[in-house]
C-alpha cells in the first residue's frame, strides 16, 4: 500500500511539487498555501506555492524528456500506463482517503472515482498502440502517399477540483499514452490527489520529466499566464469555468421510479458539483407532482455529513463560496415564484454543507436557468410538449451533457438528435467512461476527451509523399 490506512494523519501526504523527477519542498517563490478539509475547515497540508519560474522549469523538463519518450515504442508506453492504472487500483482505499479529505465527497464515492480514473488509463494503455495512419491513393500514380500520427509535444493539463483524480487521468493519461510529456496544474484546493498519482506514475516507470506537477492556489493568474505563453508547450488542455447547464427531461411515458433514480445519479453525485449534473430538470406537466414527491422522498433519505461518516451520501461543497452561491440560487428562485419542497439553506456548523433541496415551478427568468447551481439543489421546470422542451433545453449558451427519460423508442431518437449537447443519456444518469467521447458544443468547449478521441487530441497528422519514378 502507498499509505497507511489511518484516515486523519496529514503526515502521510506527499506535500511537495514534482518537477523533472524531483520532489520539491520549496518553490521559487518560497511560499506555501494551505489545503483545507471542506468538512470541518481544518488545514490538512501545506503545499509549495509555485510561480512562473517553476512553470518554466517544468516545461523545460518536459521538453528535455519529450524526444526520448516519443521514441519509446507505443507498446512499452502502453505497458507503463497500464501499470499506473494497476497501482491506482491497488491503492484505491488510500487514494480515496486523500480525495475525501481535500475534496469532501463521500469516501465510497471517492473510491469509485479512483476506479473510474484508472479506467481511463486502462483504455489509453491499449490505445497507445492503435494510433493508426492511412495509405492514401494518389492522383499522381508515380507517388505513394501516407498519413501518420505523431505526438504533438510537451503539453499543459489544467484540472479542476471536482474530480481531482479522473480529470488527471482523462487528460494527462491520454497525453502520455500518445507520446507527449506533461506539465500538470492541479486545482489549488485539491493538489494532494495529483501528487499521489504522480508518485504512483513514478513507481509505474514514467521517466523523469514526462510528468511534472506545478502546485499553486494564490498565484493562479501568474501561473496560468505562464502556462499559456510558454513557447515550449504545444497544447493546453483545460476543463474550467464553462460547464454544461445540463437539461434533464422527464416525459410522461417514462418509468417514474427509474427516472427519479437516474435523476438522483445525475444530480447528487459529488454533492451536485459536476459539469454534467442535471441542472434544469424538465418534467412533463402531467407527472410533475408525482416526480416531485418521489424526489422529495429520496432527498429526505439522503444522509449529509463528513465523507467518512457511515452512510453519508452528500458531503460538503468543496469551496465555501459554493454554499453562498447555492443559497443565492434558492433565494432568487423563491423571490420569483418557485416553491420550496425540501431543504433550501446551509447546514449550520463547521464545514461547507448545504441541504439537499427540491424546488418546483421554476421558470426561465430564474438564475438557475442560465447558471449552473453546482450544489445538491434540484430545480424542476414544467413543460407540455416535446417541441417545447427541446426549445427550452437548447436555450443555453452551453451544451455539454443532457438526459432523456422516456419509453418511446422513436422519441429517443428524435430528441437525442435535436438536443444541442455533446452527450445524451437516455434513461440513465451516467454518461462518462474511459471508452466514451466526452465533450460539448457551443461554449462548453473545444475538442474531445476519453476513448480513442482523447488520445488523438494529443497527436498531429503528418502527410508523407514519396516519389516512385518509373524504372
CA–CA separation, 426 and 416 (whole Å): 8
Task: Write out pLDDT tens, residues 150-171.
Answer: 999 999 999 999 999 999 999 9
C-alpha 466: how far from its chain's center?
A: 43
What is the pLDDT averaged over residues 300-328? 97
Q: In degrees to the nearest 10, what's the CA dihedral of 330, 332, 338, 343?
A: 10
1 pLDDT higher than 60: no
Is 124 in contact with 85 (CB distance < 8 Å)?
no
Closest CA to 169 of 422, 374, 403, 438: 438
Burial class from Cβ neighbours inside 10 Å (0-12, 13-18, 19+) for residue 156 reads buried
Closest CA to 45 of 217, 164, 172: 217
Is the model more confident about 464 or about 10? 464
287 pLDDT higher than 70: yes
Q: Where are the domains of the chain?
A: 10-239+449-456, 246-435
Count of C-beta atoms within a 10 Å radius of residue 183: 31
Task: Write out pLDDT tens, residues 232-264.
Answer: 999 999 976 577 899 999 999 999 999 999 999
The predicted pLDDT at position 13 comes to 76
Burial class from Cβ neighbours inside 10 Å (0-12, 13-18, 19+) for residue 43 reads exposed
Count of C-beta atoms within a 10 Å radius of residue 345: 14
Closest CA to 195 of 421, 430, 14, 377: 14
289 pLDDT higher than 90: yes
CA–CA separation, 40 and 164 (whole Å): 19
Q: Is the dihedral of CA 408, 442, 235, 153 positive or negative?
A: positive
The predicted pLDDT at position 433 comes to 95
The predicted pLDDT at position 416 comes to 98
Quickly list DSSP for 376-424.
Answer: SEEEEEEE--HHHHHHHHT-SSEESEEEEE-S-HHHHHHHHHHS-SSEE
CA–CA separation, 321 and 10 (whole Å): 25
Helix residue ranges per DSSP H, 277-385: 288-300, 321-335, 367-370
The answer for 116, left when phi > 0, alpha when psi is -120 to 50, beta otherwise, is alpha
pTM of the model: 0.95
Task: Write out pLDDT tens, residues 5-40.
Answer: 344 455 557 899 999 999 999 999 999 999 999 999
| 13 φ/ψ angles, rounded to the nearest 5 degrees | -80, 150
CA–CA separation, 81 and 270 (whole Å): 27
- Indicate the pairing of strand 441-442 with strand 398-399: antiparallel
Closest CA to 97 of 36, 9, 160: 9
The predicted pLDDT at position 6 comes to 42
Burial class from Cβ neighbours inside 10 Å (0-12, 13-18, 19+) for residue 354 reads buried
Task: Write out pLDDT tens, residues 97-126.
Answer: 999 999 999 999 999 999 999 999 999 999
Going by pLDDT thresholds of 50, 70 and 90, the confidence category of residue 445 is: confident
CA–CA separation, 253 and 286 (whole Å): 10
Task: Write out pLDDT tens, residues 43-62.
Answer: 999 999 999 999 999 999 99
Is 369 in contact with 280 (CB distance < 8 Å)?
yes
Quickly name the fold that domain 10-239+449-456 has.
Answer: Aldehyde Dehydrogenase; Chain A, domain 1 (3.40.605)
In 73-114, which ranges are E strands? none
The predicted pLDDT at position 4 comes to 43
The predicted pLDDT at position 12 comes to 58
List the CATH code of the domain at 246-435.
Answer: 3.40.309.10
CA–CA separation, 125 and 216 (whole Å): 30
* Grid coordinates given for 455: 488520445
In 127-272, which ranges are E strands? 134-136, 143-151, 155-158, 182-185, 211-213, 235-238, 246-250
CA–CA separation, 327 and 335 (whole Å): 12
Q: Which residues pair with 449 in a beta bridge?
A: 438
Residue in the structure block whose three cell numbers are 427550452: 392
The predicted pLDDT at position 9 comes to 52
Length, in residues, of the chain: 471
Q: Provide the mean pLDDT of the chain.
A: 95
Amino acid at each position: 500500500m502507498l499509505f497507511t490506512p489511518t484516515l486523519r494523519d496529514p503526515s502521510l501526504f506527499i506535500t511537495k511539487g514534482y518537477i523533472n523527477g524531483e520532489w520539491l519542498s520549496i518553490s521559487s517563490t518560497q511560499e506555501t498555501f494551505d489545503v483545507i478539509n471542506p468538512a470541518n475547515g481544518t488545514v490538512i497540508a501545506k503545499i509549495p506555492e509555485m510561480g512562473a519560474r517553476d512553470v518554466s522549469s517544468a516545461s523545460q523538463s518536459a521538453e528535455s524528456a519529450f524526444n526520448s519518450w516519443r521514441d519509446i515504442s507505443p507498446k512499452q508506453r502502453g505497458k507503463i500506463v497500464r501499470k499506473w492504472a494497476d497501482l491506482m487500483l491497488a491503492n484505491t482505499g488510500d487514494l480515496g482517503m486523500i480525495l475525501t479529505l481535500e475534496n469532501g465527497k463521500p469516501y465510497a464515492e471517492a473510491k469509485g472515482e479512483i476506479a473510474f480514473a484508472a479506467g481511463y488509463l486502462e483504455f489509453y494503455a491499449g490505445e497507445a498502440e492503435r494510433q493508426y495512419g492511412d495509405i492514401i491513393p494518389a492522383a499522381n500514380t508515380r507517388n505513394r502517399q501516407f498519413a501518420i500520427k505523431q505526438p504533438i509535444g510537451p503539453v499543459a493539463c489544467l484540472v479542476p477540483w471536482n474530480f481531482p483524480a479522473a480529470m488527471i487521468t482523462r487528460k494527462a493519461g491520454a497525453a502520455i499514452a500518445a507520446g507527449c510529456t506533461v506539465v500538470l496544474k492541479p486545482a489549488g484546493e485539491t493538489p494532494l490527489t495529483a501528487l499521489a498519482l504522480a508518485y504512483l506514475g513514478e513507481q509505474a516507470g514514467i521517466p523523469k520529466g514526462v510528468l511534472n506537477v506545478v502546485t499553486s492556489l494564490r498565484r493562479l493568474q501568474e501561473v496560468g499566464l505562464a502556462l499559456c505563453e510558454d513557447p515550449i508547450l504545444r497544447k493546453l488542455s483545460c476543463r474550467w469555468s464553462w460547464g454544461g447547464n445540463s437539461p434533464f427531461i422527464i416525459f410522461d411515458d417514462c418509468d417514474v421510479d427509474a427516472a427519479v433514480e437516474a435523476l438522483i445519479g445525475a444530480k447528487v453525485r459529488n454533492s451536485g458539483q459536476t459539469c454534467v449534473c442535471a441542472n434544469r430538470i424538465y418534467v412533463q406537466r402531467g407527472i410533475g407532482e408525482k416526480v416531485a414527491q418521489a424526489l422529495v422522498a429520496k432527498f429526505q433519505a439522503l444522509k449529509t455529513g463528513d465523507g467518512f461518516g457511515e452512510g453519508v451520501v452528500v458531503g460538503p461543497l468543496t469551496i465555501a463560496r459554493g454554499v453562498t452561491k447555492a443559497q443565492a440560487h434558492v433565494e432568487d428562485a423563491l423571490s420569483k415564484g418557485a416553491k420550496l419542497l425540501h431543504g433550501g439553506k446551509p447546514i449550520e456548523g463547521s464545514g461547507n454543507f448545504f441541504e439537499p433541496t427540491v424546488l418546483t415551478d421554476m421558470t426561465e427568468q430564474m438564475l438557475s436557468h442560465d447558471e449552473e447551481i453546482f450544489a445538491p439543489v434540484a430545480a424542476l421546470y414544467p413543460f407540455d410538449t416535446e417541441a417545447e422542451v427541446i426549445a427550452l433545453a437548447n436555450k443555453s449558451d452551453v451544451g455539454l451533457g443532457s438526459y432523456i427519460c422516456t419509453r418511446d423508442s422513436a422519441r429517443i431518437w428524435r430528441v437525442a438528435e435535436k438536443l444541442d449537447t455533446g452527450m445524451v443519456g437516455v434513461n440513465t444518469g451516467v454518461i462518462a467512461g474511459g471508452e466514451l467521447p466526452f465533450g460539448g458544443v457551443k461554449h462548453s468547449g473545444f475538442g474531445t476527451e476519453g476513448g480513442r478521441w482523447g488520445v488523438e487530441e494529443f497527436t498531429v497528422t503528418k502527410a508523407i509523399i514519396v516519389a516512385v519514378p518509373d524504372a
